[in-house]
Structure 1
Amino acid sequence: MAIYQLPTGSYETRAAFAIRGGSFRDKRQFAATAILVRHPKGDFLIDAGFGADVAAHVAMQPRFARAPFQTFRTVREQLDDNGYDSTRLRGVFLTHSHWDHASGLDSLDLPVWMNRGELEYAASDGDGKVFRAVSPGHEIREYSFDGPAYLGFSASFDVHGDGSLVLALAGGHTTGSVVAFVTLPWGQRYAFIGDLTWQLDGVHRRVERPWLLRALADSDAEQVRQGILRSAALTELMQVVPAHDRRAYEGIPLLSGAAR
């Protein structure tokens, strides 16, 4: 079992718009990174990063939400470049269905695994527009949270049944947002918290987005607040990774040639 990061690009946002108390002079490069989780029972991606048509996906956002961006190789290109055996891949788990997590589905021929709450959100919310554009043709596999509370989160889904990849319902940012917990055989643990907070500052300082961004981006601000507090409590136990903080991925290897 192993995990790898697949950076697909980034976009620029000022810290003042990313985190409560952030500086307008502080420019942050928001990561758009997928995670490959290798497992003997089958591999999964966590999020899909930027796709081949990311420029069109950015153009689908409201003008105030568009930002300068740069692209790297898509997940599909990185897998192919490294000779990865794609028959190992069982699908993609989205931490949630916003554009910068779903864009890369346009280049992947894989099932998309989502829970009922997130499926309903993606089908009706304005921020699900890109997901609705890239998901046709994909098999949608709905999973349910049939497991107990997990590390403070109310319900869980143990993907392989061995605790190595566990999805926990977080909600708040979107209705069905999840935290993906990965535990490697030697004990290294990760919590991929999606967009509970966009930056590590939110975890370390236990603060949320600025008020206006909370109103625009979150479906339930109080639920997000509780998710941030739960995530902050985990930092002594594992590496907590907000999806858009490039620093948070340090130590996770690139795919390179190691996953052949």
Structure 2
Amino acid sequence: MKVHVWHTGSVYIDQALAFQENSLHPLPYSGWLRGKSKKRWVPVSSYFIEHPKGRILVDTGWHEEIRTNQKKHLGRLAYSMFQGKLNKGESVLEKLTNYGIKSHDIDYVLLTHLHSDHVSGLKHVKDAKKILTSELEWKAANKKIGYIKSMWDGVPIETFEFSEIPYGPYKRGLDLFGDGTLFLVHTPGHSDGMFSILVKMSEGWLLLASDVGYSKKSWEDMILPGVTTNKVYAKESLKWIKEFSNREDCIQVIANHDTEIEPRIIV
């Protein structure tokens, strides 16, 4: 088992989007009318898992259109709140090409949730054998604001329903291969149908926490993300991440946007 931690671009956000804050500002996470001292660049991560039963890509980072016309790609509203950056060689297409892998060689693309920085690059890998997100997330993304539906237009996304598993704040998720080696763990709150990825490594568990928290500081200090669809669920999910991080068999917990996490291969 190998897990490749990739930075597939970065995003310029208000600090209140990463760490919820009490403010007189009605929408501090938007960054509107807030100075540069409140803004920061954070990585946008994707993960490539070499599993004995298949090749798995978790989230897709930014599409290469971010380099040329991101205002069109994101839309005016999203662009007014955050901007992306994608250096040469950082797109999922370029990362996969560097390893000699075509999109049709990927067995699963797992979309932890459908926010733009997680699905922007989806069309680069639309020929993957199977592209999965949860049924809950799919319904929310096609009904609620906060999503950019053009990013998955024409992409054959399949959905799954959460069922009982041994892990997670609500013990709901999916045992992807049915052998206890890779779980999609329902960790709602930041979005309705978001899941984290729990990977069984030789030394113990690796937990890819998506956006349950934006960094290790999030679960250590119990700071929710600035955007939540349900604060009760978000707190329970973050609490579970904290508890799991303290297990003796937990190798590491990685948040998607943690500035302390460097690209590397975990074996």
Question: Under a length normalisation based on structure 1, what TM-score does the superposition of the two structures give?
Answer: 0.84
Structure 1: unaligned runs, 5 residues or longer: none
Tell me the SS of whatever aligns to 1:43. strand
What is the rounded CA distance, in whole Å, between the counterparts of 2:175 and 2:203 in structure 1? 17
In structure 2, the residue matched to 1:208 is: 224
2:206 maps to 1:190: yes
What does residue range 4-153 of structure 1 map to in structure 2 within 5 Å? 4-20=4-20, 25=37, 28-54=40-66, 55=70, 56-62=72-78, 64-67=80-83, 69-72=84-87, 73-84=90-101, 86-109=103-126, 110=128, 111-129=130-148, 132-153=149-170
In structure 2, the residue matched to 1:243 is: 256
What is the rounded CA distance, in whole Å, between the counterparts of 1:92 and 1:200 in structure 2? 25
Could you list the per-position Cα deviations for residues 204-256 of structure 1 after superposition, in whole angstroms to 9, with x for gaps in the alignment?
A: 111223xxx3xxx2110111011111111111232111111132x347429xx
Could you list the per-position Cα deviations for residues 163-198 of structure 1 after superposition, in whole angstroms to 9, with x for gaps in the alignment?
A: 2210011111111011111112x1242211211122
What is the rounded CA distance, in whole Å, between the counterparts of 1:74 and 1:63 in structure 2? 19
Task: Tell me the number of residue pairs that the alignment of Structure 1 and Structure 2 aligns.
Answer: 244
Could you list the per-position Cα deviations for residues 111-151 of structure 1 after superposition, in whole angstroms to 9, with x for gaps in the alignment?
A: 3201211110111122222xx21212222222222333414
Structure 2: unaligned runs, 5 residues or longer: 23-35
| Matched residue type, 1:4 | H
Alpha-carbon distance, 1:64 to partner? 4.4
In structure 2, the residue matched to 1:161 is: 178
What is the rounded CA distance, in whole Å, between the counterparts of 1:80 and 1:145 in structure 2? 33
Question: Under a length normalisation based on structure 2, what TM-score does the superposition of the two structures give?
Answer: 0.81
Equivalent position to 1:224, from 225, 234, 240: 234
What is the rounded CA distance, in whole Å, between the counterparts of 1:141 and 1:50 in structure 2? 21
Contact 1:92 1:113 in 2 (8 A): yes
Tell me the SS of whatever aligns to 1:124. coil
Percent of aligned positions with the same letter in both sequences?
Answer: 22
What is the rounded CA distance, in whole Å, between the counterparts of 1:77 and 1:251 in structure 2? 15
CA spacing shift, 1:151–1:252, aligned 2, 3 Å = farther
Alpha-carbon distance, 1:104 to partner? 0.7
Give me the CA root mean square deviation: 2.6
Contact 1:92 1:112 in 2 (8 A): yes
What is the rounded CA distance, in whole Å, between the counterparts of 2:114 and 2:85 in structure 1? 21
